[in-house]
C-alpha cells in the first residue's frame, strides 16, 4: 500500500468515526411518525380481532341454545314433561341433566338465557338470548338469538 492510499484510508476511517459520533439518534419528527404508524396498525388489528370475537360469541350462544334443546329432550324423557316457565332452565341443573356451574345458564355476554314453556312462537320450549346489548331486538351482535327462527 502506498503512502497516498494509506492517507486516503485514514481519511475515510476518520470520516466514518466522525459520522458515528455525530449521530444523536432519531429526530423528534421521526419518532412521531413511527408512533403514529404503530397506533394506526394497532387500531386496525384490534378492530379486526373485535369482529372475530363478536362472531365467536354469537356462534357460542347458538351452540349453547342447541345444547339446551337436547338437554330439555333428555329432561322430557326422564320426567315426561318440560320444565315450566317459572322453573326455567335452572330445573335442568336441579335434575342434574346439566352441570350446575356458575356460568351454565349464562350467555357469552354475561346475561342469563331466557326460557319459556309453553312457547309463544313454537309448540315446544323456547330459549333465547338478547345478544350483546341484553335488550330485546337489535341488529348484528345485538340481535336476539333464539331456537324458533
Q: Mean pLDDT: which of 39-48, 56-65, 133-142 is highest?
A: 56-65
Residue 29 burial (CB < 10 Å; 0-12/13-18/19+)?
exposed
State how far the Cα of 53 lies from the Cα of 38, in Å rounded to an integer.
22
Cell of 83: 320444565
Grid coordinates representing 123 are 309448540
Considering the chain, what is the average pLDDT of its residues? 85
Q: Please determine, for residue 44, whether its predicted confidence score (pLDDT) is greater than 70.
A: yes
pLDDT digits (tens, 9 = 90+) for 94-133: 998 988 777 889 999 999 999 999 989 988 999 999 998 8
The pLDDT of residue 71 is 92
Domains within the chain, CATH numbers bracketed = 38-146 (3.30.700.10)
- Taking the C-alpha atoms of residue 83 and residue 10, their distance in angstroms, rounded to an integer, is 93
Amino acid at each position: 500500500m502506498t503512502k497516498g492510499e494509506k492517507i486516503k484510508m485514514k481519511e475515510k476511517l476518520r470520516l466514518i468515526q466522525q459520522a458515528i459520533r455525530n449521530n444523536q439518534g432519531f429526530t423528534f419528527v421521526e419518532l412521531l411518525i413511527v408512533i403514529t404508524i404503530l397506533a394506526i396498525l394497532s387500531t386496525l388489528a384490534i378492530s379486526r380481532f373485535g369482529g372475530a370475537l363478536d362472531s365467536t360469541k354469537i356462534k357460542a350462544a347458538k351452540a349453547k341454545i342447541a345444547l339446551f334443546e337436547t338437554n330439555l329432550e333428555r329432561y322430557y324423557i326422564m320426567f315426561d314433561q318440560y320444565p315450566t316457565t317459572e322453573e326455567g332452565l335452572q330445573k335442568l341443573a336441579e335434575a342434574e341433566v346439566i352441570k350446575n356451574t356458575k356460568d351454565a345458564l349464562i350467555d357469552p355476554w354475561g346475561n342469563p338465557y331466557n326460557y319459556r314453556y309453553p312457547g309463544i312462537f313454537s309448540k315446544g320450549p323456547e330459549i333465547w338470548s338478547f345478544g350483546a346489548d341484553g335488550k330485546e331486538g337489535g341488529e348484528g351482535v345485538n340481535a336476539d338469538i333464539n331456537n324458533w327462527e
